[in-house]
Amino acid sequence: MTDLTKNNLLENVSLIKKKEIKSEELTLAYVQNIKKGKKLNSFITECCESAITNAKNFDQKQNYEGLLAGIPLAVKDLFCTSGVKTTAASKMLANFVPNYESTVTKNLWSQGAFLLGKLNCDEYAMGSSNETSFFGNVINPIKENTVPGGSSGGSASALAADLTPATIGTDTGGSIRQPASFTGTVGLKPTYGLCSRWGIVAFASSLDQAGPMTKTVSDCALMLEAMVGYDLKDSTSINKKKENYSKNLSKNIKGLKIGIPKEYRVDGMPKEIEDLWEKGQKILKEEGAEIIDISLPHTEYALPTYYIVAPAEASSNLARYDGVKYGHRSSKGANLIEMYEHTRSEAFGDEVKRRILIGTYVLSSGYYDAYYLKAQKVRRLIKNDFDTAFNNVDAILTPSTPSATFKIGEKKNDPISMYLNDIFTVPTNLAGIPAMSVPAGYDKDKLPLGLQLIGKPLGEQTLLNIAYAIESKSNLKQNISKWWEK
Amino acid sequence: MSIDKDKIKHTAKLARISLDENKIDSLSKDLSNIFKFIEKLNKANTENVRPLSSILDQSLRLREDKVNDGNIRDQILENAPNKNEDFFIVPKVIE
Average pLDDT of chain B is: 91
H or E element in which residue A246 lies: none
Residues in B 6-35 with any Cβ partner in A closer than 8 A: 7-8, 11-12, 14-19, 27, 30-31, 33-34
List of chain B residues whose C-beta atoms are within 8 Å of the C-beta of residue A328: 81
pLDDT per residue as tens digits for the range A109-167: 999 999 999 999 999 999 999 999 999 999 999 999 999 999 999 999 999 999 999 99
CA dihedral for A137, B8, A359, A86, sign (positive or negative): positive
Is A74 among the domain residues?
yes
List of chain A residues whose C-beta atoms are within 8 Å of the C-beta of residue B18: 338, 341-342, 344-345
Query: Any CB–CB contact under 8 A between B66 and chain A?
Result: no
Identify whether A317 is part of a domain.
Answer: no
What's A204's domain CATH number?
A: 3.90.1300.10
Distance (Å, whole) CA A467 – CA A440: 10
Prediction pTM value: 0.97
Q: Does B54 touch chain A (CB under 8 A)?
A: yes
The whole-angstrom separation of Cα A463 and Cα A307 is 27
Q: Residue A100: CA atoms inside 13 Å, Cβ hemisphere, count?
A: 13
Task: Indicate the DSSP class of residue B17.
Answer: -
- The shortest C-alpha distance from B61 to chain A (Å) reads 7
Which is catalytic among the residues A76, A189, A411, A412?
A: A76
- Number of C-beta neighbours around residue A180 at 10 A: 38
Contacts of A154 (CB under 8 A, 6+ apart): A41, A42, A43, A44, A76, A77, A119, A120, A121, A130, A133, A138, A148
CB–CB contacts below 8 A, A to B: 152
Contacts of A93 in chain B (CB under 8 A): none
On whether any CB of chain A is under 8 Å from the CB of B60, the answer is yes
Q: What is the pLDDT of residue A188?
A: 98
Comparing A16-30, A78-92, A399-413, A446-460, the range with the smallest average pLDDT is: A399-413
In a domain, A303, yes or no: no
CB contact, 8 Å: B68 with chain A?
no
Each residue of A184-207: b (16+ CB within 10 Å) or e? bbbbbbbbbbbbbbbbbbbbbbbb
Spatial separation of the C-alpha atoms in residues A132 and A155, rounded to whole Å: 15
Q: What is the pLDDT of residue A291?
A: 98
**Contact indicator for A474, A441 with CB cutoff of 8 Å:** yes
Nearest-angstrom CA–CA distance, A123 and A143? 23
Rounded CA separation A348/A353 (Å): 6
Q: Is A76 a catalytic residue?
A: yes
User: Would you list the domain boundaries of chain B?
Assistant: 5-43
Residue A175 among the catalytic residues: yes
Q: For A310-329, how does the pLDDT look when each residue is reduced to its tens digit (9 = 90+)?
A: 999 999 999 999 999 999 99
pLDDT at A1: 63
Non-local (6+) Cβ contacts of A319 within 8 A are B16
- Chain B interface, mutation test: which of A100, A309, A360, most B Cβ atoms within 10 Å? A360
Mean pLDDT estimate for chain A: 96
Q: Do A358 and B55 touch (CB under 8 A)?
A: no
% of residues, chain B, pLDDT over 90 = 76
Closest residue in B to A301 (Cα) is: B41
pLDDT in the model for residue A112? 98
Q: Which of A132, A374, A420, A456 to mutate to test the interface with B (most CBs of B within 10 A)?
A: A374
Best interface-test mutation with B: which of A97, A378, A430 has the largest number of B CBs within 10 A? A378
Number of domains within chain A = 1
Reply yes or no on whether the pLDDT at A209 is more than 70: yes
Chain B residue numbers with beta carbons less than 8 Å from the beta carbon of A198 are: none
Alpha-carbon gap, residue A270 to A256, rounded angstroms: 28
By the CB < 8 Å criterion, does B37 face chain A?
A: yes
Check whether A250 has a pLDDT greater than 90.
yes
Using the predicted structure, report yes or no on whether residue B57 has a pLDDT greater than 80.
Answer: no
Contacts of B17 in chain A (CB under 8 A): 341, 344-345, 348, 353, 356-357
pLDDT over 70 at A23, yes or no: yes
- Quote the pLDDT of residue B53: 85
More confident call, A2 vs A114: A114
Chain centroid to CA B63: 28
In terms of CA atoms, which chain B residue is nearest residue A205? B54
ipTM score over 0.85, yes or no: yes
As a whole number, mean pLDDT of residues A301-317 equals 97
- The mean pLDDT of A194-206, rounded to a whole number, is 97
Task: Report the gap between the CA of B22 and the closest CA in chain A (Å).
Answer: 13
> How far is it between the farthest Cα atoms of chain B?
57
pLDDT tens sequence across A34-80: 999 999 999 999 999 999 999 999 999 999 999 999 999 999 999 99
pLDDT of residue B50: 95
pLDDT at res. A462: 98
Mean pLDDT for the stretch of residues A199-225: 98
Range of the domain at A411: 7-259+392-485
Distance CA A198, CA A103 (A): 6
Chain A interface, mutation test: which of B2, B6, B56, most A Cβ atoms within 10 Å? B56
What is the spatial distance between Cα A47 and Cα A289, in angstroms, rounded to a whole number? Answer: 45
- Annotated active-site residue A325? The verdict is no
Which whole number is the average pLDDT over A215-231?
Answer: 98
CA distances to A84, A127, A207, A407 from A106, rounded to whole Å, are 13, 27, 22, 36
Test B53 with A301 for CB contact under 8 angstroms.
Answer: no
The per-residue pLDDT for B62 is 86
Catalytic member of A128, A157, A175, A437: A175
Mean pLDDT of B33-40: 94
